[in-house]
Amino acid sequence: MTHQLIATFGLALFFGIAFVTIAKRMKISPIVILLIGGIAVGPGAYRLNIIDPTLLGEGLEAIIQISVALILFEGGLTLDLKGYRQVSSEIRAVLTRGVVITWLCSAVVVKYVMGYPWAVSILAGSLIIVTGPTVIGPLLKRVGVHQKLNNFLHWEGVLIDPIGVFIALLCYEWIIGHDAILLFLSRFTSGIAIGVVCGFIIARIIRKNWIPEESLNIFVLAAALGIYTLSDMLVFESGLLSVVIAGFVIGTADTPQIDRIKVYKAQLIELLIGLLFVLLAANLAIDTYRGEYLLKILIAVILVMIVVRPLNIFISTLGSKNFALRDKLFLSWVAPRGIVAASMASLFALNLKASSSGNYAQQAEFLETFTYAVISGTVILQGFSAGWVARLLKVHEPEPTGWLIVGAHKLGRIVANFIQDQGRAVTLLDTNIRMAAVARRNGFVAISDNAITVNPDNTPELFGIGNVLAITENEELNELICQRWSKKLKNPNLYQWRQLSLPEEEQTSETVLSGTPIWTSLPLGRVIKMSVENKDISFMQGQSNAESINHPERVLMSRMDSRILPFLPENAKGPCMFLIYQPFTVSVDLHIKPEWITISSARSMSDIIEELLNILRNDYPDLETASIHKHMMDIENEYSSLIGFNIALPHGYSEKLDESIVMVAKTTRRVLSKINNDEVHLVFMVLSPRDKPNEHINTLSEISKFIMNEENREKLFTASSHADMVEVFFPEMRDNKPSQKGETGS
């Protein structure tokens, strides 16, 4: 017997994961394959008889209860109140009066088509309220409707699960209470009270970091099961309500730990869905689908699909200007049900069958039959016809226009704001949990995940992405991101930040595939560092003729006609919306102080170097200035330190320093290089620790990049005072002009 139990459980788990994997490869809803496959491997005539859930005995109910408890806990955990507040009025309507319409109208259908008592009819109606992201997500990705419809169906699926479960639990509590109001109220109040108290305690433990990070996921898993068990022990049948409430309370704690838990729970739920659906589908008594009973079931399902759902949508969107008639017709057709409806129906049916009262035991099987019939009809019929219906109604989006920005730092949020202002959807992605949380608080759709490993098929926020903007400060990572997403999306537009573009002769086919280099003159690392240090960053968003923009290399985003690009196209003409950065607010990434900048009246390079070293002794009294001066002049007399543009770059090492430092002098008299007699107008002197040669090279490279910028050189050459020189390197020391639109500061 033990062997049979293990075999049944193990095979159900194996087939569940196998079916989910097959569905992902086929890019269809896993429910379709799980339902068909689960029925196929189950017992009975014309079936494979591989899995017999009845062998599990009472263990089947235990598996269902535990799985449902964890699924509902995850549903409560991911319930997004902020998202609810931000969604359109139409979505709020479908989640309120739309839910009531679906529930009560479905109950009327069951009552008058099937002839069951009102109690059973109302419970059956409550079970098919939910849709769910697990079935909506793959459908939306495959069909590709326009953004308003995508958002509507996505948010409906995300937010309706806990609402539907709550109503179903209330109906179930009402039935098993035998009209005993006191018992009903005790289950209701105790479930909420236990959920709130336990959820608050666990959330506080998590926020206080009392649990080691490596044990956090298993702690929350055990806590969820503990809450369910405790609640059921105190008041029978109150556990499911408790875990939903506890999950919601824990999920409201907006902390990095909660985000990690949500990722782990999503993976666990996928495993449970595979296991549970195979067992439930295999346990279905499909022999009951015959004759007059089958005809009534089909009529009831058709009425739910073509009467109840359209009634819901048209009443919920009454007076709406956001949805045209064709949009409402498409929404009326698409409402696939999923695992939550199936698991709740099976669980309630098992419990009602085992009920000693027997009042509703004989109708319990109908709950499963009806719910699975609705699931089959909506998932299979609506799911496979949705693409055709979208094309017929002309609501599909031929090419995805959404944007994925990899990098939720301040610049990423500013760019996202520009894209949203142009009416396009944008999602921010960052491995930094805190940055993603800041983006969400600022009203953006943001997820904390790895752009190299995240699966867009399982992430509803990534549906409709047609443009990928990789703007991490790691150039190699940006290239890897673009390479990966070139394989994940169909003909995407890929862009990556690079400090310098490769010459054409060095570009390979792989380089071309990895995305278009953008913002090559922007020191992204410095911009991110300044935002972290709460230094002002100035950006300007506005509208102008493209040909009148004097510095197109500073344009971060542009929109001409319907095209949005992270650069200004060459020879662009006509009206243009733009986002541009102000270079004077992005100082060079060097260790330099205002007092290390001077205007020198010295007549030779030797005197200039000596003057700079004497200034430096105010900060470094032990500096061996004589030996440094001799070393630099020995090099100067043999190899000129001129690097072009009448700029000299003498450099050396000192054991008295712990980081590279930079000093700058502008000459007021005629100073000549000894080697070639070229004039020297500017001197950048670099001193570095002897044990940090890489830092020394990086500093020289940073100065070279700074000098290569024509505007930087022009500002230095035209500076007429020490203050003018200082402002070039420390723009925050003067009054900055506020940006027209965007973010400044932190």
* 282-296, 514-528, 731-745: segment of lowest average pLDDT: 731-745
Average pLDDT over residues 155-174: 77
**CATH number of the CATH domain containing 121:** 1.20.1530.20
Residue pLDDT, tens place only, 350-401: 778 776 455 676 678 888 889 888 988 888 888 788 889 998 998 877 678 8
Residue 678, number of CB atoms within 10 A of its CB: 14
In a domain, 286, yes or no: yes
Cα 28 to Cα 228, 311, 379, 388, 669, distances in angstroms:
33, 27, 10, 15, 76
End position of a domain, from candidates 560, 585, 610: 585
In a domain, 739, yes or no: no
615 and 553 belong to one structural domain: no
Question: Rounded to the nearest 5°, which phi and psi values hold at 618?
Answer: -65, -30
In a domain, 744, yes or no: no
10 and 54 belong to one structural domain: yes
In a domain, 743, yes or no: no
Residue pLDDT, tens place only, 30-87: 777 888 888 889 887 677 888 888 888 778 878 888 887 887 787 777 666 655 555 5
108 and 256 belong to one structural domain: yes
End position of a domain, from candidates 585, 613, 641: 585
542 and 613 belong to one structural domain: no
User: What's the 3-state SS for 151-179?
Assistant: HHHHHHHHHHHHHHHHHHHHHHHHHHCCC
Helix pair 58-77, 239-251: axis angle to 10 deg: 30
pLDDT at 313: 94
On the question of pLDDT at 430 being above 90, the answer is: yes
In a domain, 128, yes or no: yes
Residue pLDDT, tens place only, 77-91: 766 665 555 556 888
Instruction: Note down the domain range covering 497.
Output: 402-585
84 and 212 belong to one structural domain: yes
**CATH number of the CATH domain containing 647:** 3.40.930.10
On the question of pLDDT at 297 being above 80, the answer is: yes
Residue pLDDT, tens place only, 238-268: 787 888 888 888 877 666 566 666 666 666 7
In a domain, 660, yes or no: yes
pLDDT at 507: 46
The number of folded domains in the chain is: 3
377 and 409 belong to one structural domain: no
In a domain, 740, yes or no: no
Q: How high is the mean pLDDT of the chain?
A: 82
End position of a domain, from candidates 529, 556, 585: 585
* 109-118, 127-136, 586-595: segment of lowest average pLDDT: 586-595
Q: How far apart are CA 166 and CA 346, in angstroms?
A: 16
pLDDT at 194: 93
281 and 192 belong to one structural domain: yes
Strands (E), 125-228: none
Round to the nearest angstrom and report the end-to-end CA distance of the chain.
Answer: 65
550 and 579 belong to one structural domain: yes
Is residue 413 within 8 Å of 539, Cβ to Cβ? no
What percent of the chain lies above the pLDDT cut of 70?
A: 86
387 and 422 belong to one structural domain: no
Average pLDDT over residues 206-232: 87
Residue pLDDT, tens place only, 317-335: 988 888 889 999 999 999 8
Q: Could you give the 3-state DSSP secondary structure of residue 207?
A: helix
pLDDT at 667: 92
On the question of pLDDT at 565 being above 90, the answer is: yes
* Tokens linked to 258: 């909660």
In a domain, 738, yes or no: no
381 and 506 belong to one structural domain: no
pLDDT at 265: 64
**CATH number of the CATH domain containing 457:** 3.40.50.720
On the question of pLDDT at 5 being above 60, the answer is: yes
On the question of pLDDT at 743 being above 60, the answer is: no
pLDDT at 682: 93
Question: Rounded to the nearest 5°, which phi and psi values hold at 708?
Answer: -65, -15
490 and 576 belong to one structural domain: yes
578 and 531 belong to one structural domain: yes
